[in-house]
């Protein structure tokens, strides 16, 4: 019942179309046509368009956040046991790696990444409210861990740099297609592990500079 084939087909179609065209530019008729189900099925199974969006986000965000929180907790426990603060890079990796690893789980999960990237770009949008409600605790935990690992930085500076890091991450989450401005001799398709390292090189250097 909770995983009815109809529900799953709707979630898959909505995930793809919301990510590709945005929430407001995607109609329920387009979603149900792609899913091969009746138009009324969305309202029957989810209650409405906005509730469908929340279901699309939560289906993947909940397990993803559990993974990230688990890695972060393990890092903090280990630090308490050994008395050595985890490095900025390790903390960021706990957040970033499970995220980008979603790309290896097929095109469906890739759609989710793009959707989240879009969501972060619409501060007053419908999806943002849903998203922030489920991200706030983890972000708070991440912020605290980073301030401890960068004791020479003010909270102001840590906040701004974390803000910039989130901006970078959301950008590469949503831009996994060829860009018009991609110069020759440059491939935008890189293996995930390499992408993670490229990102961590960049973000860690930015977080730690002058610290």
Partner DNA sequence: ACAAGGTTCAAACGTTCGTTTAAATCATTC
Partner DNA sequence: GAATGATTTAAACGAACGTTTGAACCTTGT
Binding region for its own copies (CB under 8 A): 20-22, 24-25, 114, 117-118, 120-125, 132, 135-136, 139-140, 143, 155-157, 159-161, 163-172, 174-175, 177, 179-183, 185-188, 190, 198-199, 201-210
Nearest to DNA of 43, 140 (CB atom)? 43
Query: How many residues of this chain interact with DNA, rule: CB under 7 A?
Result: 21
User: If binding is defined by CB under 7 A, does position 129 make contact with DNA?
Assistant: no
DSSP secondary structure letter of residue 156: H
Which one of 39-47, 87-95, 131-139, 192-200 is the stretch in contact with DNA (CB under 7 A)?
Answer: 39-47
Token pair for residue 90? 């390790």
Closest distance of CB 129 from DNA, Å: 15
- SS3 state at 134: helix
Nearest to DNA of 50, 108 (CB atom)? 50
Determine the Cα–Cα distance for residues 103 and 87; give it in Å rounded to an integer: 25
Which one of 31-39, 74-82, 102-110, 116-124 is the stretch in contact with DNA (CB under 7 A)?
Answer: 31-39
Nearest to 14 by CA among 130, 117, 108, 155: 108
Burial readout 65-104 (b: 16 or more C-beta within 10 A, e: otherwise): beebbebbeebbeebeeeeebbebbbbbbbbbbbbbebbe
User: If binding is defined by CB under 7 A, does position 169 make contact with DNA?
Assistant: no
Nearest to its own copies of 7, 89 (CB atom)? 89
Q: How far is CA 14 from CA 7, 43, 56, 108, in A?
A: 10, 13, 7, 10
Which of DNA, its own copies, none has residue 210 at its interface (CB below 5 to 8 Å by kind)? its own copies
Nearest to 68 by CA among 36, 101, 46, 115: 101
Token pair for residue 54? 């929340």
Which of DNA, its own copies, none has residue 124 at its interface (CB below 5 to 8 Å by kind)? its own copies
Which one of 4-12, 58-66, 158-166, 173-181 is the stretch in contact with DNA (CB under 7 A)?
Answer: 4-12
Nearest to 61 by CA among 24, 109, 21, 97: 109
DSSP secondary structure letter of residue 177: S
Q: Of 26, 99, 149, 170, which lies in the binding site for DNA, with binding defined by CB under 7 A?
A: 26
Closest distance of CB 83 from its own copies, Å: 25
């Amino acid at each position: 019942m909770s995983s009815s084939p109809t529900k799953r087909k709707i979630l898959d179609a909505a995930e793809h179309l919301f990510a590709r065209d945005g929430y407001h530019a995607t109609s329920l008729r387009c979603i149900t046509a792609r899913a091969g189900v009746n138009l009324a099925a969305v309202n029957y199974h989810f209650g409405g368009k906005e509730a469908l969006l929340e279901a699309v986000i939560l289906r993947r965000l909940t397990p993803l956040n559990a993974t990230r929180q688990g890695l972060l907790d393990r890092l903090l426990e280990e630090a308490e046991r050994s008395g050595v603060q985890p490095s900025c890079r390790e903390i960021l990796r706990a957040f970033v790696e499970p995220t980008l690893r979603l790309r290896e789980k097929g095109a469906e999960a890739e759609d989710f990444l793009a959707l989240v990237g879009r969501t972060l770009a619409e501060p007053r949008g419908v999806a943002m409210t849903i998203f922030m409600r489920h991200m706030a605790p983890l972000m708070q935990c991440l912020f605290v861990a980073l301030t401890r690992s960068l004791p020479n930085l003010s909270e102001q500076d840590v906040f701004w740099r974390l803000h910039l890091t989130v901006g970078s991450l959301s950008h590469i989450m949503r831009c996994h297609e060829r860009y018009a401005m991609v110069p020759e001799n440059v491939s935008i398709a890189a293996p995930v592990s390499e992408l993670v390292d490229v990102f961590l090189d960049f973000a860690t250097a930015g977080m730690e500079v002058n610290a």
